[in-house]
Chains A and B, each alone.
Chain A
């Protein structure tokens, strides 16, 4: 019995070691960069990192909720672009007070479109959101015309950059989104997302209204995309139709690096936040060490593949650990020796 416990401990350590492998590498990288340039670890630089990842990070919180339920949304860039352009135009025409609530409604409506296609028309979330994302960015391009929609009144930009307790308001906003997401993930609706992600059939048998709870994170993600789109309007003092083109990948990668399972049912909001922060650290460290932007993309792509790989390896190991007593045998395929009869 003792032996078994020790053995299980070793196994679980090995599994967890796999899980934290990528984050650990990034932390080591950060320490290394600090030796090259001590300013890297400063509060000021950490604030800069959060400032940089805030828009994609806000979207990443919605993406994490979707990943818990075993789905994802590739249209987040498109929704954000649509909201950014529409938001900039509404700000110019009607002011911030109208623009803000209006884009949130637009974002939720986009999420509802995704939900309708996925749950009513039964298209899988990959195809549905890949397609709708194109459509949303198309609408953004039409609304924007040839050039970005410049914002005349810079009060929104000033507001986001206003230092509240020596931290810009946009970071407080990001923090608020994290807290709201964290709260949601612990509610009955949030807990049921994990059940749907782990085993949709079992969740249905246990009385989880699967469609209702699965559509919620799409609506939430839509709203978050609107907020993120408006943040970029503040950053750029303009609404760009190209906003967020790399967000789907960044948002998924951040969550997965933090330990949210790409196959659903596992992970936490905090993990997704940490993962996104680590992506910011990598990008920032590469800037600090004067690595070309194009190389940054290569390295980031590599990190993402590595994170997904370790997630799958850890999952496999976990299955082996506990699946050893299973009754059902792995079925080998019986194949004929030759196609000729004797």
Chain B
């Protein structure tokens, strides 16, 4: 089958979704999805991509509009309905069971045996082998999913989706945790599924370049409305970027917010200031030595499993390590709480781990200050209120101190985590572990602004990111890691996305 225009497989007609009381997540979306095409779906966080995906997979029902499959109207009451109509989805949070083998994950619940029959691995192995033929370098059927790398797990998720023989495959940011080359491999797979097998593919992603290079058509949402629907070949990067940035209004707001971020109080750093790591080793990290100083943003970059995250966690005191970590002329104690007291603070990209989502903004801000007071003292409510109000206004956080933090957007939540850390003042070592994972362009630029301002004031920043663009944007120096070793060191202005990827590739060859 070719990518020639055919009758649409799925027509989405005037679909709207209103969450009670009156949050309009989707507004009059009309869209055709064709078999044999990769349709990239782009949009900022909250633009409605995920809502649309949830409607198409039957997780949620639209409040208005209809869906037509093969020209016939369909109702998707639940995921089983969607599944019956041949709609499958791969989500960004991989719903695989780590304690089962790859093959068992595929046939989950469908063993091909009577309910009370004896279990046998053979049927699932057979199904797996059949499906895995189409996936290059698919993991073997008997290996436990928990032991697989993220990239390999991704492949198992693909195989599982294919097991349903889908006509429409929705990939929701399925590649966000992969390196560039792995993403490219995955995208060529998507293309071949669409072009060779005639499956309609909807590819939901944050990465504009990925979308442009691998899709046949680009669809972008802005504030719940369809903002762009064009063949990829005719689409300019700048147009998409503008929509993802939230349109003209958001660009102005962003500029204003950036202007409002006031500088933090400057303190002079004494001699021996900065971080010196000597022979740091822990699981996944060969002995590493590096140092970073006042006002520098040092990046660690490498493919998943390169040891960057492990190294960051060791420096933060989260995991036991050997070797020495000196901070401002003092050997850091091993307990994380002691390191936080010395302003060595770790921020995780996973907001649910970083923040207490059931608490208020103020509660989360003050939590970082809690143990700067005596164990049996009663913290002053007035001081806590003032501190929270100060951080919220100084760092231009959208929301009020007394609001539940889970009501904030993802980008804003993460901004609270970074802002409270920066508000500690100097000396400061901020350890960012893929800080902007899953945050949209607007939120990302806010957080980058915060980090840059902090570094400008004299904070040291140690950063890992799965996104080379983020590293290129922020870092003054980058250590390229591979299998726990430093394989390359790059300095501004030589840091760019292509040079980072090239360094990873070279490192890979050097280690092969």
Contacts and interface: CB of A to CB of B under 8 A. Distances in A.
Interface of A: 3-4, 7-8, 183-184, 186-189, 191-192, 195, 198-199, 201-210, 212, 265-266, 322-342
Contacts of B386: none
B335 A188 contact: no
Contact of B20 (A7, A336, A340): A7
Interface string B80-116: 0011000011111101000000000011111110000
B438 A335 contact: no
A55 to B, nearest CB: 26
B113 to A, nearest CB: 9
B37 interface: no
A329 B406 contact: no
A324 B20 CA distance: 9
Nearest to A261: B358
A200 to B, nearest CB: 10
Contacts of B373: 188
Contacts of B341: 207
A208 B404 contact: no
B245 interface: no
A208 B409 CA distance: 26
Given A3-B21, A335-B83, A329 B353 contact: no
Given A188-B376, A195-B370, 5 more contacts: A205-B340, A205-B346, A205-B347, A335-B163, A341-B130
A159 B24 CA distance: 68
A68 to B, nearest CB: 13
Contacts of A204: 318, 336-337
> Chain B CB within 10 Å — which of A203, A323, A324, A339 has the most?
A339
29 contacts: A7-B20, A187-B379, A188-B379, A191-B370, A195-B370, A198-B359, A205-B340, A205-B347, A207-B341, A207-B370, A208-B337, A208-B367, A322-B406, A324-B23, A327-B45, A327-B46, A328-B50, A328-B92, A329-B50, A329-B59, A331-B91, A332-B57, A333-B108, A334-B164, A335-B108, A337-B83, A337-B165, A339-B110, A341-B127
User: Which 7 pairs from chain A and chain B are nearest by CB?
Assistant: A207-B340, A332-B79, A336-B163, A339-B112, A209-B337, A7-B21, A331-B95
A324 B367 contact: no
B165 A342 contact: yes
A331 B126 CA distance: 26
Nearest to A209: B337
B108 A329 contact: no
A189 B370 CA distance: 9
A341 B125 CA distance: 12
Contacts of B370: 188, 191-192, 195, 206-208
Given A4-B21, A335-B108, A325 B371 contact: no
Contacts of A266: 358
Nearest to A318: B358
A190 to B, nearest CB: 9
B484 interface: no
A189 B53 CA distance: 44
Nearest to B359: A198
Nearest to B339: A207
A214 to B, nearest CB: 12
Contacts of A201: 353
Interface string B352-393: 111111110000100110110111111100000000000000
Contacts, number: 168
A325 B337 contact: no
Nearest to B82: A332
B46 A325 contact: yes
B410 interface: yes
Contacts of A210: 337
Contacts of A212: 337
A192 B406 CA distance: 20
B189 to A, nearest CB: 17
A202 B356 contact: yes
A323 B406 contact: yes
Nearest to A2: B21
A186 B379 CA distance: 8
A234 B375 CA distance: 34
B388 to A, nearest CB: 14
> Chain B CB within 10 Å — which of A187, A207, A329 has the most?
A207
Interface in B404-430: 404, 406-407, 409-410
A339 B410 contact: no
B470 interface: no
Contacts of A333: 79, 95, 108-109
A177 B493 CA distance: 64
B356 A198 contact: yes
A207 B344 CA distance: 10
Contacts of B123: 339
B401 interface: no
Interface in B56-74: 57-59
A331 B131 CA distance: 22
B223 interface: no
B79 A187 contact: no
B98 to A, nearest CB: 15
Contact of A334 (B88, B355, B378): B88
B54 interface: yes
A187 B378 contact: yes
A311 to B, nearest CB: 14
B155 interface: no
A292 B475 CA distance: 75
B126 to A, nearest CB: 8
Contacts of B478: none
B53 A322 contact: no
B163 to A, nearest CB: 4
Given A188-B374, A192-B370, A337-B164, A330 B379 contact: no
> Chain B CB within 10 Å — which of A4, A204, A325, A336 has the most?
A336
A340 B123 CA distance: 9
B5 to A, nearest CB: 26
A184 B110 CA distance: 54
A191 B375 CA distance: 10
B346 A335 contact: no
A324 B21 CA distance: 11
A329 B54 contact: yes
Contacts of B352: 199
Given A198-B359, A202-B356, A329-B91, A322 B407 contact: yes
Contacts of B92: 328
A203 B356 CA distance: 8
B404 A322 contact: yes
